[in-house]
Amino acid sequence: MPTVTIDGCKVEVEKGATILDAAKKAGIWIPTLCYHQAVSSDASCRICMVELDRGDWKQLVTSCNYPVRRDIVVYVSSERAKLARNGVMELLLARSPESEELKALAERMGVKETRYPKVTESQRNCILCGLCVSVCEQIIGQSAIGFAGRGVERVVAAPFRQPSEDCIGCGACAAVCPVGTIKVRIHHDQQEVEISPFKSRAKLLVCKQCGAPVVSEKVGELALDKLKISSEEFRELMRLCPKCRKSKTVEQIRTVVFEEK
């Protein structure tokens, strides 16, 4: 196994693991935004830059996707690496000044403010990290959203910037969004879930017993399909809210355990 020396600390990692994996193992924190272990790394945000020692010269690399193939020496806290990470953070703060999540990360990195004015338009503080796009494609398998436009015009959107029919309203994009751009809104009166800012809406599955919203209908179907359990009784159970499901299960157990005896 190759050894990674991070800021003088030696750790062994599997061949092909990333510098970020090694840093985690060494207990060294590197800020990340567009990285999520569930999806492949795109290294687009550039906030996780570290300095790689190549002997006669040093190179800045993104730790989230640099594969360790042999023994390497890496600096996380070198002046150049810090400057690069902080520089990227300042640019992101200029783009998305209102994101509380971004501000919190900046604070943890020691970046107090940005020297730059706001020159690019972001959609609700979106930093275009692409995690939402990746999770929708790679994990959910829907590809309801993607990138549209180029350069400063780049945005995350559904095709033709219209609400997408492929969106199942699962909210995975909102869950992975590191800056709070994507939100799940429940419209109780219409029994619908909306994924904002994409404006896509999906019918909610409502608990048969108490009428509380469970998940979107499409998510329920997808989950049942993935579970591959054909028992109708189980499927019925899954259409209840967690609370009612619990009480129903308790009921069933009581019947089985106590009354049948």
Q: How far is the CB of 22 from other proteins (least distance, A)?
A: 14
| Residues 163/144, Cβ–Cβ less than 8 Å | no
Burial of 169 (0-12, 13-18, 19+ CB in 10 A): buried
Shortest distance, position 207 Cβ to other proteins, whole Å: 42
Q: Which CB atom, from 164 or from 216, has the smaller least distance to other proteins?
A: 164
Q: Which residues have C-beta within 8 Å of that of residue 157, sequence separation ≥ 6? A: 145, 146, 147, 148, 198
Tokens of 147: 């990138």
Please report whether residue 66 would count as binding other proteins according to CB under 8 A: yes
Restricted to residues 158-177, the positions that interact with other proteins (CB under 8 A) are none
Q: Report residue 188 as tokens.
A: 């109780």
# residues contacting other proteins (CB under 8 A)? 37
| Of 166, 167, 154, 219, residue with least CA distance to 196 | 167
When asked if residue 153 is in the footprint of other proteins (CB under 8 A), the reply is yes
11 vs 126, which CB is nearer to other proteins? 126
Footprint of other proteins on 176-205 (CB under 8 A): none
Burial label for 211, CB within 10 Å (0-12, 13-18, 19+), is exposed
Please tell me whether residue 233 adopts helix, strand or coil conformation: helix
For tokens 């945005």, name the residue. Answer: 155
Instruction: Select the residue interacting with other proteins from 154, 183, 245, 248 (CB under 8 A).
Output: 154
Least Cβ distance, residue 147 to other proteins (angstroms): 7
- For position 61 contacting other proteins by CB under 8 A, the verdict is yes
Q: Among residues 47 and 240, whose Cβ is nearest to other proteins? A: 47
Alpha carbon distances (Å) from 94 to 91, 113, 125, 183 = 5, 9, 10, 22
Quick check: 151 binds other proteins (CB under 8 A)?
yes
Site string for other proteins, 33-52 (x = CB under 8 A): ---------xxxxxx-x---
Token pair 């399909």 is found at: 225
| Stretch near other proteins under the rule CB under 8 A, chosen from 6-14, 65-73, 175-183, 214-222 | 65-73
CB of 84 to other proteins, least distance (A): 5
The answer to whether residues 133 and 36 touch, using CB atoms and an 8 Å cutoff, is no
Amino acid letter for position 251: E
Q: Which residues from 76-135 bind other proteins, rule CB under 8 A?
A: 80, 83-84, 87-88, 91-92, 94-95, 115-117, 119-120, 127-128, 130
Q: Which residues bind other proteins (CB under 8 A)?
A: 42-47, 49, 60-62, 65-67, 80, 83-84, 87-88, 91-92, 94-95, 115-117, 119-120, 127-128, 130, 147, 149-154
